[in-house]
Amino acid sequence: MEGHEVRKLAELEDRHWWYKERRILLGRELAKFSKAGTALDIGAAGGGNTRVLRAHGWKPIAIEYGEEGAQVARDRGLAVMRADARRLPVADGAIDLVVAFDVLEHIEEDDAAMAEIHRVLRPGGVALIAVPSDMRLWSAHDVAVGHVRRYTRDTLREVIVGSGFTMETLDSWNVLLRPAAAWRRKKSTGSDLDDVPPLINTALSTVIAAERYLPVQGLPGVSLLTRARKPLTAAAR
């Protein structure tokens, strides 16, 4: 993601409905762990998810490729390493949890990134992955923010299982607002990462929050979320 997009994200993410709900979903996943450990937030940008990890008792390190994002995270008092997701400067089996939200779609060799995530996780460690879904939603927005692809359930499963993980969940997200997203993407001429008027932001927050309680995770959405686990033994791979 370009530096100006990272700065824009950092300015918006604390109040923007999309990022607020993603942080809530991350928090709900973290609540399922019996204890916190060491975590990597890959593609951390300004560190919004890194702060969620810290708030839940984890010892997080923000991994950010770009200089702008890394500096924003440092300015927020977060531990940061600048690194390529395909070459993580972390020892084998040193990490309990990896969060990679909206990362794989930026990388041509997404299999190499997943192989690195597998390498740094301890046996039994978990990866929480989010990606944009469905090439039918491809638009100028994807180009503007540096996407290489959007995923289907099959293509995401292929890269994750092919890297040695067991997929425990695979859910669609932003299902209820998909028609509105598809309409907007058809008209987009660039990134749709913009500030939203407060009333609209509140309305969108209400709609997206409803998905926590409705059985829509198997329907087409705008994103895919998965929890994947590194097997306890090499033989399981």
Distance CA 196, CA 204 (A): 10
Who wins on pLDDT, 185 or 40?
A: 40
Q: Quickly state the pLDDT bin for 235 (edges 50, 70, 90).
A: very low
How confident is residue 92, by pLDDT bands cut at 50, 70 and 90? very high
Separation in Å, CA 232 to CA 36, 38, 77, 125, 207: 18, 18, 34, 8, 39
* Bridge partners for 166 per DSSP: 229
CA dist 105 and 115 (Å) reads 15
- The region that residue 134 occupies, defined by phi over 0 for left and psi between -120 and 50 for alpha, beta otherwise, is left
SS3 125: strand
Contact 230, 121 (CB under 8 A): yes
- Of 55-69, 144-158, 184-198, the one with minimum mean pLDDT is 184-198
CA pair distance 89, 71, nearest whole angstrom = 18
- Write the DSSP assignment of 7-24 as a string of letters: HHHHHHTTT-HHHHHHHH
Beta bridge partners of 225: 130, 171
Q: Give Dmax over CA atoms of the chain in angstroms.
A: 53
Predicted confidence (pLDDT) per residue in 19-52, tens digit:
999 999 999 999 999 999 999 999 998 889 999 9
Tens of pLDDT, residues 46-85? 889 999 999 999 999 999 988 888 888 888 899 999 999 9
Selected residue with higher pLDDT from 134 and 10: 134
Whole-number Å distance between alpha carbons of 76 and 180: 34
The pTM assigned to this predicted structure is 0.92
5 contacts 144 by C-beta, under 8 angstroms: yes
Start-to-end CA span in the chain (Å): 33
Give the pLDDT score at 13: 79
Do the Cβ atoms of 227 and 117 come closer than 8 Å? no
**pLDDT at res. 12:** 78
Structural domains in the chain, sorted by start: 3-230 (3.40.50.150)
Check residue 234 and give its pLDDT: 56
